[in-house]
Amino acid sequence: MLINKTKKINNLSLYIMLLPATIVLIIFAYLPLMGIVIAFQDFIPARGFFGIQKWVGLDNFKYIFTMPDTMQVIFNTVYIASFKLFFGLILAVAIAILLNEIRNKTFKKTIQTIIYMPHFLSWVLLSGIFIELLSPSTGLINKFIELFGFKPIFFLGDKHWFPITMIITDIWKELGFATIIYLAAITSIDTQLYEAATVDGAGKWKQIWHVTLPGMRMIIVLMSLLSIGNVLNAGFDQIVNMYNAQVYETGDILDTLVYRLGLIDGQFSAATAVGLFKSGVSAVLIGTFYYLSYKFADYRIF
């Protein structure tokens, strides 16, 4: 009886600790969901959110899909986000494996710190740095390119180079932080497996292929599952701080479209419809990938 009371007290303390986070989640994540109704209204801000608004059904969705640039914007979003996720995953796993093989702790921690640091810098700051570095006239990168006899490249003003620049700079920024999870997964692998592989004559590459990667499989599936929902999040903070009208054709994404429709043009209903469409597609992708992970990799969250 005393044990049960002690458990209840311990559980109560845990619930109390969760309470502030739960309140923040409700206020900033769940209450704003009420705004979804704007996507089905001809919303006029002067009438207020709880005022009488005209319901238009799916007209806002029809409107956004009849705009001339919508399909190109969707393509840009998927293209940029997919390459970020794909190469970011592969490189993060590779870097984690390489870091795990470093035996000098001081050197290892130094490298980790160097590659982690960019994650903690905001895109507002980094965009200013990259604009200077990638300038076609005075940028350090183009000065280096000119040393080899090539013409300078307008990375942020050329529609062909802009998406590539966004992909590379984002991977550079987030790569180090992503390796933390994979390093943790590697450290959880039983060392006896490596010893057995060594006895069997397996070298480093075979140990990585037959021991390390299989040991990381579940965490890789989990991270892929969580990332697939962001396939329509190509990085608003990054792109809005670095793009311009010259690269709209290949650099405009769904989030920047929402920004222009809602905050610049005042088309709140259309902007909400775009956001709801994006969330719906993400939910479908997460559900589909989770089903495939469960069926083919025997992975489950619950």
Q: Please give the pLDDT value at position 2.
A: 46
Give the CATH number of domain 71-296.
Answer: 1.10.3720.10
Residue ranges per domain, the chain?
71-296
- pLDDT, averaged per 10 consecutive residues of the chain (302 residues), comes to 55 83 89 87 81 85 89 90 90 89 86 88 90 87 87 89 92 88 85 82 83 84 76 85 87 89 87 88 80 69 58
How many angstroms separate the CA atoms of 82 and 280, rounded?
A: 18
Q: Please give the pLDDT value at position 7.
A: 55
Pairing of strands 54-55, 41-42: antiparallel
Tell me how far apart the 2 most distant CA atoms of the chain are, in Å: 83
